[in-house]
């Protein structure tokens, strides 16, 4: 995988400004900006199809917007379902923590609160890291088929995860690093602040390409194994 390529490929497209301006405008409108997630899914699909200029266009805005908005919504719903077990567990753990703190001496409250909160946060981060792997497999499959059931074919997604674990871990690390890099860029006065306004589009451009790179590697490897 090429980390830097995810930040530069967009400018190889002679129509990059037209494609990104429309995407950026959609991306700043709450709820409506789910279409940007669908746009990123089309980016992954185009990369898997081997398109030299994979950034999706908006030549048929009405139909494309509807399809991409629904696709983005489905991806968001799937992520919520994946994350739901932790939401329930976190609520239970927080209830236990509050119960313990309520019975503690005042001098122990700060120390216990800090330790328990860090423990819950650590468990949450671990859960997020674990579910990201099969979820990203489902995301790649969904981007290519728009079959919502692919998210919940857990046995298949876990099998693919085990087969391509190194690629998926690399993807997770690159996504994490990209978020840090973009977060720092967004802090730069003027230019960074302007980019931050269009953060949904910037993230879609970069993270979508990283997912697409991983999907290509996994697809090529699967073809090679089947040959």
* Tens digits of residue pLDDT in 89-122: 888 877 777 776 666 565 666 677 777 778 888 8
Half-sphere exposure of 99 (CA within 13 A, CB side): 6
φ, ψ at 32 (rounded to 5°): -60, -35
User: Containing domain of residue 102, as a range?
Assistant: 5-226
Q: What is the largest CA-CA distance in the chain?
A: 67
On the 0-12 / 13-18 / 19+ scale of CB atoms within 10 A, 23 is buried
Q: Identify the helix (H) or strand (E) that includes residue 153.
A: none
C-alpha separations of 22 from 29, 197, 198, 227 in Å: 12, 14, 11, 42
* Residue 73, helix vs strand vs coil: helix
Residue 58: both structure tokens together? 């908006």
Q: Which of 17-31, 99-113, 127-141 has the lowest mean pLDDT?
A: 99-113
| Total-model pTM | 0.86
Query: Tens of pLDDT along 136-190?
Result: 999 999 999 999 999 999 999 999 999 999 999 999 999 999 999 999 988 998 8
C-alpha separations of 87 from 8, 78, 82, 121, 137 in Å: 37, 14, 10, 12, 22
CA distance 221 to 201: 30
Residue spans of beta strands (DSSP E) within the chain: none
Number of domains, the chain: 1
């Amino acid at each position: 995988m090429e980390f830097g390529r995810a930040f530069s490929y967009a400018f190889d497209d002679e129509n990059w400004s037209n494609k990104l301006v429309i995407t950026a405008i959609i991306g700043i409108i709450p709820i409506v900006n789910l279409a940007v997630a669908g746009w990123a899914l089309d980016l992954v699909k185009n990369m898997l199809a081997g398109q030299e200029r994979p950034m999706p266009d908006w030549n048929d805005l009405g139909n494309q917007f509807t399809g991409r908005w629904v696709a983005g919504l489905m991806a968001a719903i799937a992520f919520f379902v994946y994350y739901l077990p932790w939401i329930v567990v976190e609520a239970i753990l927080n209830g236990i923590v509050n119960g313990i703190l309520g019975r503690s001496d005042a001098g122990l409250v700060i120390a216990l609160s800090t330790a328990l909160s860090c423990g819950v946060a650590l468990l949450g981060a671990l859960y997020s890291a674990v579910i990201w792997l099969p979820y990203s497999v489902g995301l790649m499959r969904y981007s290519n088929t728009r079959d919502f059931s692919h998210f919940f074919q857990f046995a298949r997604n876990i099998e693919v995860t085990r087969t391509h674990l190194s690629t998926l871990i690399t993807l997770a690390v690159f996504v994490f690093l990209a978020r840090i890099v973009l977060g720092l860029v967004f802090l730069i006065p003027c230019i960074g602040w302007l980019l931050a306004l269009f953060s949904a589009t910037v993230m879609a451009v970069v993270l979508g390409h990283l997912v697409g790179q991983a999907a290509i590697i996994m697809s090529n490897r699967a073809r090679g194994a089947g040959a």
